[in-house]
Amino acid sequence: MKMMTKFALTGLAAGVALAALSSTAQAQERVRWQVPIAFPSHLVGLSTPVRYLSETLDAVSGGNINLRYYEPGELIPPFEILDAVSEGRYPAGFTWVGYDQGSIPALPLFAGAPFGMEPPAYLAWHYFGGGAELLEEIYEPYNVKPLLCSMIGPEAAGWFAEPLEDLEQIDGLRIRFAGIGGRVMERLGASVTMIPGGELYQAMERGTIDAMEFSAPAVDRILGMQEIVNNYVLPGWHQTFTTAHLLINQESWDALEPQTRATIDMGCRAATLFGYSESEMENPKALRDFEEEGVNAQVLSDEILGELRRVTNEVQAEIAAEDEMFGRVLES
């Protein structure tokens, strides 16, 4: 009888808890956000976290929090996400914040910095070392609340027609390169352009560009670059980590109930872990597949990496001298 009573009480407690959760879900406000994204949603670790975020928020809220994401170009071009969110045309957007370095020079330090921290160290700095607070300060004038919502490990240094044996080969190349690394490539004589990920295959195939970097091996393989170019250069000195953020219109964020804000924040933290874990599993598989397909994976020499670091330090020092916030973030 004691055992039966214990089970009955346990069942009663579970029923009360489930009822409370159900009641909470029913009481929660309803959120219906259109969210433009910068990358196709199937790219491992880069954009799959936004799918995870959308599905998870829908599940834990009982359907009350619905972030419907739209593929690049469906609503707006990928490079217009910040302006659209800032102006309130859309309540949120999912993007690589380094795309906006032209107007906010410090952003590439949060998006993926040359010779920067590895992912665990970056996460420690972001959550506990003042990184998140600095990013919020940067976005405050733009009426935007930023949430770290994805992270992957080091990228590759890119695809080149010939093995990269000397940095003089960079001079004159038409190359797709992002962030501060793009400034370094320009210093070395390259003509740098920014092309969205969905357009890179055609750009390389048609010869619009001579070389390119985009992301980590698993993502590059999905894009099919190995079908066009045979030389894959490693390591990704220009981005030792890559992040993506959910940018939220500040007024839309402030209008949410505290419980909803906490749920979305928790969802982004979970999505960051999801993206990093997924990419760490898939990148070695992609490298193995490249090898089996005859791709020449080249590791840059210490001499070349040393020279790239020297030029990077010069470029970053110049940007810091021009932009106070860049200097503050770099120092932090």
Tell me, what's the pLDDT at 27? Answer: 64
- Average of per-residue pLDDT across 258-270: 98
Helices 131-139, 324-331: axis angle to 10 degrees equals: 170
Average pLDDT, the chain: 92
pLDDT above 80: residue 3: no
Tell me, what's the pLDDT at 197? Answer: 78
- Average of per-residue pLDDT across 184-202: 90
- Average of per-residue pLDDT across 278-285: 97
d(CA 11, CA 143) in angstroms, rounded, equals 48
Tell me, what's the pLDDT at 198? Answer: 79
- Average of per-residue pLDDT across 69-86: 97
What is the C-alpha radius of gyration for the chain, rounded to an integer number of angstroms? 22
pLDDT above 70: residue 2: no
- Average of per-residue pLDDT across 135-154: 97
Tell me, what's the pLDDT at 217? Answer: 96
